[in-house]
Every structure is written in C-alpha cells, then in structure tokens.
Structure 1
Amino acid sequence: MHGRTDELNSSSKNNLPAELAEKLIGLACKYESADFLKKDPSQFMHRYKDLRESEAVAFIAANLAFGRREQILAHVEQILNEAGPSPCDWILCQKYKDFFPENEISFYRMYTNTDMRLFFDGLRSILEENDTIGSFFKRKWSEAGEGVFLHQVIASAFPAECKLLPHSKDSAAKKVNMLLRWLVRDNSPVDLGFWTWFSKKDLLMPLDTHVMQQSNELGLINSKSANLKTAIELTKKVAEIFPSDPVKADFALFGLGVNS
C-alpha cells in the first residue's frame, strides 16, 4: 500500500453545501462529453487503434498541454504530421532527432529542440524495453516506496535534464496528472482508461489555471500555490462529491473556468 492512497483517503466527512455539490455534478456531466475532445489535446490519443500508439501520443500531447489551447493543438499536430501513421516507429527509429536538432531554438514556449529531444529519448527508452508504456509503469509503481505518487514515478523515468517532466517532489505535476486522468479513468467519452491496474479514486486533480481559479472562487480551497499540497487538498475536497472518481470534478471546474 502506497502512502498516496492513505493520504487521499483521510478526507473529512462531507461538509460541502448541497447546492455546490449539485452544481459540480451537473457541470461535470455537461462537460464530460465527446464535444470536449474537439478543443482538447486528449483528442489525439483517440486517433489510434493500437494501445501502444495511443499511449505514446497521450504522453506527447499531455506534456505540451499548457498555454493557449489553439497553440497546444497546433504544436502536437505538427509533431504527429511529422511522425506519420506510427509515432512509435518514428520514436524507435530516432527520426525525432531530425525534427528536433540539438540546439536551444524554441519549439514551444520555453521548450527548446534539445528539451524535446530529451523527452523523446526518455520515451524511446521505455518503448524499446516494454510491450506497452503502461506495463512499464505498472512494474515501476509496484516497486515504488511508501509515500510515492505515480506522477513522481513517471517523471523519474525521464532524464533529469528533461524540462517537460516535473522533477520537484513538491510539484503539482498538472500535465502528468492530466495524462493519468486520460489513461486511468474508464467509461468516459474523453478518457480512455487503459491503465486498469491503477484505481481512479487515487488520481490527483490536475491544477490547471482555470481549475485553481474556480476552486478558490467556490471555496473548495484557499490557496494561490499550485503545488502538490494544494492538489491533495483539492482532491480530498472534490472526493466528498465524487468519492470513487474525484478527478471527474476536473471537467466541472475546467469547463466552468473556460466558459465563464
């Protein structure tokens, strides 16, 4: 048993106003729909029938998912157009090194071509040795010590110099926790639920800017710091509404923020 589960399950009794709970339930149902995919980077993993391809594309899309959504989609699309029908083959054949020469020219925001190469180096090493990305992290998770979070296990599998992954223990790891939502939650028109070995009740809320803002305005949290402590606090709070699936609240809070 990992410390994460114990920490998240130590929530207090439900003390949220019924009106707020009903509002969040309604918003989650409204925004967790196939329409959500149209403007969200989660759309890309749905293009591939092969599990291995979908996982790899999910990793690419999630780790570029910050900033304006139009720019995120454009840059992921650029990579996938270059990669062709099999992003995994493109990665394994190291063709990404032609697309991302080793230099400090920006590819997307603060991420340089060298940063992108390091990310794909990490992804390639996982793909070379494992049938699926999920099977690799299932094994790594089973070996993780007490108090370790899955997003930390994922980050540690990539080079320490890779800026796309959060290597600080205090990081809220928004992008990786969003990735985990995609890969763990099932019975969803958005999330694909490939990783059945991890429980969705143990997922952490991704602290997007919109989620932080709405959570503070609604009184779910009182914090301006998007760190691991705040992610745990918010996850506990929304688990009072969605006890078996707390990050369902991500759709409610993100959707409310984007559309308000």
Structure 2
Amino acid sequence: MTLKEVLNAHVASKNSDDELFSYADPLQVATKFKEPHIALICALFAYGNAKLIVKFLNSLDFSLLDENEEYIKKNLTNHKYRFQTTEDVKQIFITLSRLKRQGDIEEIFRRGFDKNHAMIDAINEFIKFIYSLNSYRSQGYEFFFSKPFDKSPNSPYKRYNMYLRWMVRDSDIDLGLFKNLNKKDLLLPLDVHTHRISLALGLCTRKSYDFQTVLQITQKLIDFDENDPIKYDFSLYRIGQKSELNEIFSNIR
C-alpha cells in the first residue's frame, strides 16, 4: 500500500465517534453542545494533559456566557487552569459573552479570510477582534487567546486551526457549524504528536515547530486530498498517541 492508501485506511477507522470517545479529547465536550462559543472555549483550553483538559471543561458552566458580567464574576470563583488564574477565566468568559452579543464568529473569520483567501489571515483577524472587546491583559489571558502577528506568522496557531477544523469540516467527528468557509482551505493543527509522526512519514522535513512546518505538511496532505486535506489530522494525532508508527511502516511498500 502507498502512504496515501494507509493514511486513508486510518482516516476511515479513526474518524469515528467510537474512536473519539475512546480517549479524552476536548472535542467530546464541544460535541455535547454544538455551539460555536462553547467550542471555542474547548479548543483554546486544549493544551496540556487531555484528561485534565476534559475534566476542567466539564467543570465549567457555559450558560454563564448568556449572563451579565457581574453574575459571571460572582459565579466563576474557583476555576483556574494551568496558565490561567481565576481572574483570567472570569475575563475570558466576559470577553466571549461580549463576542456573543457583538459579533458573529464565522463572519469575523470570513472577513479575515477574504483579505488574501488564507485561513491564517482569518485567524489573525479574529484574534485582533477579540482584543478589541476587553482591555484586560495578563500572561494567562494572552496565552489563551494567542497574539496576532504583524507581517507574517511564526506560531503554528494549533488551537485555532483545530477549532476551525471542528467548525468547518462537515463529516465524521467534526461539527460543521460554519457554512461559509471551505474545508479545502483549512490548515493542519500541528502539535507534538502530528509533528513527530509527519517527520517520520516524510510528510515534512522541517524540525522546527512553526507555521512554515504547518504549511509544508498541509501542502502534502493537499496532494492526498485537495478537497479535504485536514481529514487526516485526527488520525495522525491518534497514530502518535497510540504508537502505531511501526504498523504503518509494515504496510507501506
């Protein structure tokens, strides 16, 4: 089998609800609600140990996004996660409650995309809009939302690319809630698992964990499926998580 055929087989077996719920994954929480603002919280808190991520997400009361800001402050008193203090979490919820009232998430991303027909510009436009909603700043708050770039990106923007995968792809495990962005334009949500597996499989040659590596791997996946290149993301992640690389090599000829 060719590498494309082997990866297609893994996509067929791994992009399923059974596989999604076999290991802790923040998409499990987003799937329960199928709501863009809640999914954004799930994606942007998706760093660190997967079990701890899901445990933290399940402790949050997402209905607070529809409450007034004083109510949010009074009811988010014991929530903190790694780099985010309790005050950071309160301000994150306040920012996203303002976003819910003042802007359509998909429209903000689409406006950025339309500048150069590039998903990275969609992400940059969205981050800039987010910072316009709240003057609060801290290390944890800025880590959560990431920082925009001026001329060209260096960060892989993994969590935003994962969010866009969830929201734009409309098949198998993903949510498909965005209707005006195309899955052919998505970028790989690069993490340590997918980077290591991509290097081993020859999907990239760059050892740097940066945006250029995202582009290199994404272009290779476009060669495999130009209409839905990021369908391979979840299976590549699971291959790394489940240490199945030797099995793949045994099937490639």
Q: Once the two structures are superposed, what CA deviation does each residue of 1:8-57 show, in whole Å capped at 9, x if it has no partner?
A: xxxxxxxxxx6111111111111100123322111222223xx6xx1111
Count of matched residue pairs? 228
Structure 2 residue 190 is matched with structure 1 residue 214: no
Superposed CA deviations along residues 135-190 of structure 1, whole A, max 9, x for unmatched, are 44334544x467652222222222283221221432110001000000000122x1
Question: Which residue in the other structure is 1:119 paired with?
Answer: 92
Task: Name 1:97's counterpart in structure 2.
Answer: 73
Say what the alpha-carbon RMSD is for the aligned residues: 2.4
Q: Give me the TM-score of the superposition, normalised by structure 2.
A: 0.81
Confirm whether residue 230 of structure 1 aligns to residue 213 of structure 2.
yes
Q: What are structure 2's unaligned runs of at least 5 residues?
A: 244-253
Matched, 1:66 2:47: yes
Q: Which position in structure 1 is the counterpart of 2:250?
A: none
Aligned to 1:5: none
Which digits, 9 at most, give the CA deviation of each residue in 1:83-131, with x for residues without a partner?
A: 4xx35314x5453323446xxx99212222233234323312211124x
Q: Secondary structure at the match of 1:107?
A: coil
Aligned to 1:134: 106
Whether the 8 Å contact between 1:25 and 1:252 is mirrored in structure 2 is: no
| TM-aligned CA distance change 1:117 to 1:24, over 3 Å | same
Q: Offset at 1:79? A: 1.1
Q: Which of 8, 28, 45 in structure 1 is aligned with 2:30?
A: 45
CA distance in 1, matches of 2:117, 2:105: 23
Task: Return the alpha-carbon distance in structure 1 between the equivalents of residues 109 and 214 of structure 2.
Answer: 22
Partner of 1:3: none
Aligned match of 2:161 in 177, 192, 203?
177
Quick check: 1:243 aligned with 2:243? no
Matched, 1:163 2:143: yes
Distance verdict in 2 for CA 1:238–1:125, change over 3 Å? same
For 2:206 and 2:42, how far apart are their aligned partners in 1? 28
Which of 82, 89, 96 is the matching residue for 1:109?
82
Task: Report the Cα distance in structure 2 between the residues aligned to 1:99 and 1:232, rounded to whole angstroms.
Answer: 42
Shift in alpha-carbon separation, 1:22–1:140, aligned structure 2, 3 A: closer
8 Å CA contact retained: 2:66, 2:97: no
- The separation in 1 between residues aligned to 2:214 and 2:70, in whole angstroms, is 36
Quote the residue 1:11 is aligned against: none
CA distance in structure 1 between the partners assigned to 2:185 and 2:74 by the alignment: 39
Q: Is there any run of 5+ residues in structure 1 with no aligned partner, and where?
A: 1-17
Q: Is the 8 A contact 2:29 2:42 kept in 1?
A: yes
Q: 1:138 to 1:61 in 2, by over 3 A?
A: same
SS of residue in 1 equivalent to 2:131: coil
CA contact (8 A) 2:99 2:130 kept: no
**Aligned in 2, Cα 1:213/1:95: closer, same or farther, shift over 3 Å?**
farther
Q: Please identify runs of 4+ aligned residues in structure 1 that moved more than 6 A.
A: none
Q: Which amino acid aligns with 1:88?
A: L
Kindly tell me: are residues 243 and 76 of structure 1, through their superposed partners in 2, closer, same or farther at Cα, counting changes over 3 Å?
Answer: same
- Which structure dedicates a bigger proportion of its chain to helix? 2
The answer to whether the 8 A contact 1:118-1:159 is kept is no
